[in-house]
Amino acid sequence: MDNHIKVPQGEKITMQGDVLNVPNNPIVPFVEGDGTGPDIWKASVRVLDAAVEKAYGGQRKISWMEVYAGEKATQVYGENEWLPQGTLDAFDEYLVGIKGPLTTPVGGGIRSINVALRQELDLYACVRPVQYFPGVPSPVKNPEQVDMTIFRENTEDIYAGIEYMAGTEGAQKMRDFLVNEMGVTKIRFPDSSSFGVKPVSREGTERLVRAAIQYALDNGRKSVTLVHKGNIMKFTEGGFRDWGYDLAKREFGGVEIDGGPWLQLPGGIVIKDVIADAFLQQIILRPAEYDVIATLNLNGDYISDALAAQVGGIGIAPGANINYVTGHAIFEATHGTAPKYAGKDVINPSSVILSGEMLLRHLGWTEAADLIIASIGKTIGQKVVTYDFARLMDNPTQVGTTAFGDALIANM
C-alpha cells in the first residue's frame, strides 16, 4: 500500500482455513471506475450502506477505502500509472473489494486493466448470475425462464495477451517457428498475419469446473453445462470439455448417463456439454434447459452480454471475480464504461448495486443482500426505471441514476 490510499477506521477481512472471517466493520477497497463509473458508484454506495444500516441497525457497517485504477490512477499517481502496485497490494491485503468499469482501447494502447486485475490476483472464476426481475422489458417471450449462473474461466485463453502484430519481429519469429520448425502449411497469408496464442490448461479448467459444480451443489441447482468449441479447437476447448468431465467423475462421483458423455452426480445434478454456437441459439429457444454454465474466457465474455440481454440488458448484469482457495474476490458489473453517458446521471446503476449485493452475500450478510433484491423487484414493479428500461416500457416513470438509488432506498 502507499500514501495515496487513506485507510479508514475498520478491520480486515481474513481467511481462516476455507472460511472468511468478517468483522462487523470490514474495510472494503473500491475503484470508482472510468466513464459512467463515478455516476454509478455514487448511487450504489448509498444503496449498499442503506441496506446494511436497515438490516443491522448500526451493528454492522462497511468502511469503504478508495483505491485507484484506470484514468483516475493516472491523475492521482501520475502519467502511465494505470494500475498502481498500491492498488494491487490493497486488494491482496483486504481480500474482498469492488470495482467500477475501466476503459480499454481497441487495437494499440494499454492492455485491459480489468483483465490484469483478475490475472494478478489469480481471480480464476468470473461468476455472473443472470436472473429475471418481473416487469423488466425483454426481447424474448419468456424471460422468467432464464435463470443461469455463468462460471467464466478468468485467467487463461486468448486473454493471456500473447499476440504479435503482423509485420513485427515477433510475428515473423512466430511465422518462422510455425512454418520451419512445426511444419505448418495452413497459414493462408503468412507474411501479413498477426498471431495470438490460446493457452488452456487442465489445472485452469479443473479449478473453474470444480467451482461451478460446487456452486451447483451448494445452491440446489439442476445441471452444469460445459460450453466449448471443442469440435474446432480440439486440444484447447476440447480439452476443457474432457478435463471437465474427468473432474466431475473423479472428484464428484459422476457416472455416465446412457454410455456418456453426460454424467449424473449422486444427488441428481447432470453434467452436460454443448458446442458454443449451438448454445447461443438454445439459450434463446430453450433457456429453461440451462442452469449453471462453465466455460472458457472468451466464450464467457460473449455469453455474459448475450444472456444479460434476455433479462433486460447489461444495465442489470452483476458479477464477481473470485479465487475460492485464497478468498480473494473483486465484485464488478458485466458492462463497461458506457462513456457517452458519463457525468449525465442517467445510467442504470443496477449492475453495480447487484454486484454489491453479491458482495454482501459473500460476506454472509444475507439480510442486507435480501433487502436489495426485494427493493429492486419492488421499484421495477412500480415502473420506476432508468432510460434503458424506460424506452422499452409502456408508461414508465423514467428517473436518473441518483433518483433510482433514492427509490431503492425508499423501497427497502
Q: Does 301 bind Mg ion (CB under 5 A)?
A: yes
Please identify, among the stretches 16-24, 111-119, 129-137, 388-396, the one whose residues bind ligand AKG according to the rule CB under 6 A. Answer: 111-119
**Which of 4, 141, 147 lies closest to 78, judged by CA?**
4
* Beta carbon nearer to ligand AKG, 52 or 276: 276
β 320-322/329-331 pair status:
antiparallel
Of 153 and 242, which has the nearer Cβ to Mg ion? 153
For the CB of residue 118, give the shortest distance to ligand NDP in the complex, in Å: 9
Nearest distance from C-beta of residue 72 to ligand NDP, angstroms: 13
Active site residue 159: yes
Burial bucket for residue 155 (CB in 10 Å: 0-12, 13-18, 19+): buried
- Decide if 277 is catalytic: yes
State the cell numbers at 250: 473423479
Residue type (1 letter), 199: P
Cα dist. 61→16, 189, 235, 277, 406 in Å?
21, 60, 48, 45, 19
Q: Binder to ligand AKG among 14, 21, 63, 112 (CB under 6 A)? A: 112
Please provide residue 234's backbone torsions phi and psi, each rounded to the nearest 5 degrees. Answer: -65, -35
Q: Which of 242, 169, 228, 224 is nearest to 198 (CA)?
A: 228
Determine if 336 is a binding residue for ligand NDP (CB under 6 A).
Answer: yes
Question: What's the CA angle centered on 43, arms 81 and 130, to 5 degrees?
Answer: 90
229 is catalytic: yes
* 334 near ligand AKG, rule: CB under 6 A: yes
Q: Is 104 annotated as a binding residue?
A: no
Cell digits of residue 230: 471443442
Q: From residue 409, how far is each of 50, 83, 350, 368 by CA, in Å?
A: 6, 33, 13, 12
Chosen residue from 114, 297, 299, 355 binding ligand AKG by CB under 6 A = 114
The residue of the chain with the least Cβ separation from ligand NDP equals: 336
Distances (CA, A) of 243 to 199, 252, 383: 14, 13, 46
Give the one entry of ligand NDP, ligand AKG, Mg ion, none that residue 348 binds, where binding means its C-beta sits below a cut-off of 5 to 8 angstroms depending on kind.
ligand NDP
Residue 103 assigned as binding residue: yes
The nearer residue to ligand AKG, 114 or 351, going by C-beta atoms, is 114
Give the residue with the Cβ less far from ligand NDP, 35 or 254: 35
Only segment of 75-83, 109-117, 168-176, 364-372 that touches ligand AKG (CB under 6 A): 109-117
Options 44, 304, 310, 350; binder of ligand AKG; rule CB under 6 A: 304
- Residues forming the site for Mg ion (CB under 5 A): 301
- Residues forming the site for ligand AKG (CB under 6 A): 104, 112, 114-115, 301, 304, 334, 336
